[in-house]
Amino acid sequence: MPGFTSAETENKLGIWAGSTGELFFQNVELPAENLVGEEGQGFEIAMYGLDQGRFTVAAGACGVIRACLERSVEYARERETFGQPIGKYQFVQDMIAEMVLGYETSKLLVMQAAWMKNEGMRNTRETSLAKWHATESAFRAAHLAIQVHGAYGYSGEYGIERYFRNARAPIIYEGTTQVHKMMQAEHALGYRHLNGRDGDVSPLCSWAPALSPVHAT
């Protein structure tokens, strides 16, 4: 439409397969029939979209953690130093164990949000928690995977460095880690309604009923 232009973002650290760019609107006029939803619903629709986007980002982060874990385990079994696989060394085991914890806790948080979606429950809080934890865990797992692989991890030969580059951006988009920390704190303190006005939360959120009097006022 007249007044609308776009520009590609070049030289990104990672996610090279994804098209990233900027959108520019200069006095753009849209017909009324292009309205999404009803007038006044813009914020509600945008927030609903965020819940969906954050969920897919969290699920994708779980995949990165699993890839880092599987590749690191395979390498640690095969790579030998001083006559034994490096997987026998406790410092390597420590890194593998940390990836296991990051994967399983992230996946459980994603599954919790997924269950609420399937039940038709509002899941802003749970999806936020999954996105925050999974993306941070993915970046940590990628860092550890490079460490396990040593110089091979830093080079492009094994492809491990790609996990590291691609795991950095999700910590920023769909709400930075700092935004999600703020959301979780405000939910817990009662400054923010738990998942909107209906107050639906996961059954695991056993402390939620204690905030009912806060929200009632």
Please list the active-site residues: 174
- CA gap 107, 61 in Å, rounded: 9
Helical packing angle, 42-78 and 90-118, nearest 10°: 150
Residue 20 Cα to chain centre, angstroms: 18
Query: Which residues, in sequence order, are bridge partners of residue 85?
Result: 80
Helix (H) or strand (E) holding 130: helix 124-149
Q: What are 24's strand-pairing partners?
A: 5
Crossing angle, helix 42-78 and helix 124-149, to 10 degrees? 30
Q: Residue 48 belongs to what H/E stretch?
A: helix 42-78
Residue type, 181: K
Q: What are phi and psi of 3, to 5 degrees?
A: 95, -10
Cβ distance 132 to 180 under 8 Å? yes
